[in-house]
């Protein structure tokens, strides 16, 4: 659980976990992670941008 977020987001996590179950919650998080790695990789392929980090484990940095 992420308690450094606003209370509303932590409350939503408490709701989503029992609602989806462990497997469902894991699929949602894996899907989000897939998007977070796919989008920067594709943008990094464009000539107009240079990807400055791996684009999935940290905040995205483009130049």
Q: Which domain holds residue 13?
A: 7-43
Q: Is residue 33 part of a domain?
A: yes
Q: Is residue 26 part of a domain?
A: yes
Q: Which pair of tokens denotes residue 24?
A: 């469902």
The CA distance from 49 to 61, in Å, is 10
pTM: 0.58
Q: Is residue 39 part of a domain?
A: yes
Q: Is residue 50 part of a domain?
A: no
1, pLDDT greater than 60: no
pLDDT at 62: 62
Query: What would the pLDDT profile of 10-60 be if each residue is shown by its tens digit?
Result: 788 788 788 888 899 899 888 988 888 888 888 888 888 877 776 566 676
pLDDT at 52: 74
pLDDT at 23: 92
Domain count for the chain: 1
Q: Is residue 59 part of a domain?
A: no
3-state secondary structure 21-50: HHHHHHHHHHHHHHHHHHHHHHHHCCCCCC
């Amino acid at each position: 659980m992420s308690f450094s977020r606003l209370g509303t987001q932590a409350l939503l996590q408490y709701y989503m976990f029992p609602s989806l179950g462990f497997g469902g919650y894991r699929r949602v998080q894996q899907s989000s992670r897939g998007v977070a790695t796919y989008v920067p990789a594709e943008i990094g392929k464009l000539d107009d941008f240079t990807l400055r980090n791996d684009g999935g484990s940290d905040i995205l940095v483009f130049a």
